[in-house]
Amino acid sequence: MTYNLKDKNSEAFDNLSRREKIIFLAGVFDGEGSFGCYLAGSPAYKKHYLQVSVEATDSDLVARFNEVFPVGAVNLRRKKRENYHKPAYIWRINGEKAWPVLEEMVPYMCKRRRDKFYDLVKSYRHGSKDSGRIIQKQESNRDSVIRS
């Protein structure tokens, strides 16, 4: 199935099911997105948190992430130098709210990204007080998930 989203006024994306929107966004995320576990807090108390973000110069594309996952926020990154960079829009989500977003996209991401996600889950579990956290893991069938 192909999606004609070239027309920014197109209703094609709006007419997709939630699953189809997730598949589309996972593909965009593979190319334009990033995720990782970072440290924050005072020197005496450091805490790990997950950050998921997508950066693109197309505001409509970034807005679609915010539409499907409204727990994030969209910000404008200003040009670094005049006539050199286009302004970029960043959709970002931090902390516990980021886990369900990634879990929903993981089955449709490329293998490299899925492997990175599962490596991140392993390292997060080892560094987390809540090592019993339930994370969805992909089976061979992309439509199914198992609890690990």
Per-residue pLDDT of the chain (148 residues; tens, 9 = 90+): 444 444 455 678 888 999 999 999 999 999 999 888 877 766 676 777 788 999 988 888 888 999 999 988 888 877 666 666 778 889 999 888 988 999 999 999 988 888 888 888 877 665 555 444 434 443 433 443 333 3
In sequence order, the 6+-apart residues with CB closer than 8 A to the CB of 26 are: 105, 106, 107, 108, 109
- The proportion of the chain whose per-residue pLDDT surpasses 90, expressed as a percent, equals 25
CATH class of 18-147: alpha beta
What sign does the dihedral 106-38-68-130 (CA atoms) show? positive
Of 27, 83, 36, 18, the residue nearest 56 (C-alpha) = 27
- The residue extents of the domains of the chain are 18-147
pTM over 0.75: no
